[in-house]
Structure 1
Amino acid sequence: MLRWFLQKNVSISEHCDRLLPERFRADGNRTFATEIAPRLLTQNALVYDLGGGARPFVSLSDKQRLNLTVVGLDLEGGELAKAPQGAYDEQIEADLTIFSGRGDADVVICQATLEHVRDGTGALRAIASCAKPGGLIAIFSPSRNAIFARLNRVLPEKVKRWLLFKIFPEKSLGHDGFPAFYDKCLPSEVERIAAQNGLELVERRLFWKSSYFYAFVPAFFAWRVWQGVSAVFLGADAAETYAYVFRRMH
């Protein structure tokens, strides 16, 4: 019965969403994973996957097809060990906030990791340090101002994990079950810190959709109204999620 109720609400919410322009309906995580980051991968590239852990960004088939060398970094070595055999050519167990890279990567990918670190400034410095001059960096993250991010910061960990996996059992397979802090997780902050670390902006994409409120229509409408009002005052920092591509200049 609960599953039917949730699915019905999702259906109604998605139907209402179709009245909005396409840019408000694009899923940021999916767009990053299927469009933004993959086009940066070129033949024989050295790729750093920061925070991929048990679920590497680059599939084995793409790794082999493009002859990529993939370095995986994660806070927990146990997560790296869960990755498919051969996914990483090198595994680094390290805290991204204090890590210092070798400056040798052609491409650095950091998907849905920045929100999980306690020191966003340190993490962005480390991300920049991994790329070689001219190397590209692709980042995807939720925004600190998103309502789901606000709730994530105030709800007890056990409560929010139970709610999340009860309503969205598929999210137990990704990063969503890990504690999130959202330090420096605003587009304006990311751009400022990136510039301080010698990164040139190549592309910015803002996304205005997240799935958390679709399962209850009243919450969905309240969220969309709040989003519209906050966008007037906060501009880009009101986005739900965002994706960046930077180039390391020096």
Structure 2
Amino acid sequence: AESMARTGATVRGIDLSTKALKVADLHSLESGVTVTYEEIAAEALAARMPASVDVVTCMEMLEHVPDPQSILRACATLVRPGGYVFCSTINRNLKAYLLAVVGAEYVLNMLPRGTHDYDKFITPSELARYARNTGLELVEMRGMTYNPLTQVYALGRDTDVNYLMAFRRLA
């Protein structure tokens, strides 16, 4: 949110966690950018503000919600025709389980144990299908890798674990 605000974008961040929103608000104050935060469900915001934004980002949260297709539907409703929805999540396969759950939560202790539920991971084909069902077309998919030794993320072709998808809302 803050990086988009630094480019001059008007940015609204939403979450259902009051605690997370307070942390985000404090962080944006410290960084000197203006981001409006609101405690609201994506579906409720979409009902209140349909077709009102050019870009929606939904990063690293679809694998934590009970109904990711509902979230994607809300994102598609929020964005104007021709606008973009960007999502990132975790693939569902053995490699993703070993790296995102076993490695990150139990071996490296990068995340609290129990952060991820393997059954909620989403394959790229599932996410693309959810998007098609909501009137979004896939523009691009990229993999994202993390090197814990250098603490560097990189975009590439490997979608086995983390991946991002860019969608455009059809008219």
TM-score (norm 1): 0.51
CA RMSD of aligned residues (A): 3.3
Partner residue, 1:193: 130
| Aligned length in residues | 155
Among 139, 144, 168, the alignment partner of 1:202 is: 139
Q: Which residue of 2 aligns with 1:104?
A: 52
Give distance in 2, aligned partners of 1:88 and 1:179. Answer: 31
| Contact 1:100-1:129 at 8 Å conserved across structures | no
Q: 2:5 aligns to what? A: 63
The residue number in structure 2 matching 1:119 is 67
Deviations 1:69-116 (A, max 9, x none): 1100112021111122165532221344x4441221111112211111
Letter in 1 for 2:57: I
| Higher radius of gyration, 1 or 2 | 1
Q: For 1:205, give the aligned amino acid.
A: R
Q: Does 1:135 align with 2:119?
A: no
Q: How does the TM-score come out when normalised to structure 2?
A: 0.72
Q: Answer yes or no: is 1:240 the counterpart of 2:161.
A: yes
Show structure 1 runs of 5+ residues with no match.
1-56, 215-235
Deviations 1:196-222 (A, max 9, x none): 111111111245x4558x9xxxxxxxx
Greater relative contact order (CA < 8 Å, ≥ 6 in sequence): 1
Shift of 1:58: 2.8
**Structure 2 CA distance for aligned equivalents of residues 150 and 183 of structure 1:** 15
Instruction: Give me the whole-angstrom Cα distance separating, in 2, the residues matched to 1:181 and 1:92.
Output: 29
Q: What amino acid is the match of 2:170?
A: M
Distance in 1, Cα, partners of 2:60 & 2:79: 19
Answer 1 or 2: which has greater helix percent.
Answer: 1
Matches within 5 A, 1:1-250: 57-59=1-3, 63-64=5-6, 66-83=7-24, 84=27, 85=29, 87=33, 89-96=35-42, 98-101=43-46, 102=49, 103-149=51-97, 161=105, 163=106, 167-169=108-110, 171=111, 178-180=115-117, 183=120, 185-206=122-143, 209=145, 239-250=160-171
SS in 2 for 1:189: helix
Do 1:137 and 1:246's aligned partners in 2 also have CA atoms closer than 8 Å?
yes
Aligned-pair distance for 1:181?
Answer: 5.6
- SS for the counterpart of 2:11 is strand
Structure with the bigger percentage of strand:
2
Equivalent position of 1:50 in the other structure: none
Which amino acid in the other structure matches residue 78 of structure 1?
K
Q: Pick closer, same or farther for the CA change 1:128–1:113 going to 2, 3 Å.
A: same
Measured in 1, the distance between the counterparts of 2:118 and 2:96 equals: 12
Q: Which of structure 1's runs of 4+ aligned residues deviate more than 2 A?
A: 86-90, 146-153, 176-184, 209-212
CA displacement, residues 142-195 of structure 1 (integer Å, 9 cap, x when unaligned)? 112243437878x8xxxx85x25xx244x57xxx97444653611111111101
* Structure 2: runs of 5+ lacking an equivalent: 150-156
Does structure 2 retain, via aligned residues, the 8 Å contact 1:141–1:243?
yes
Report % sequence identity.
Answer: 30
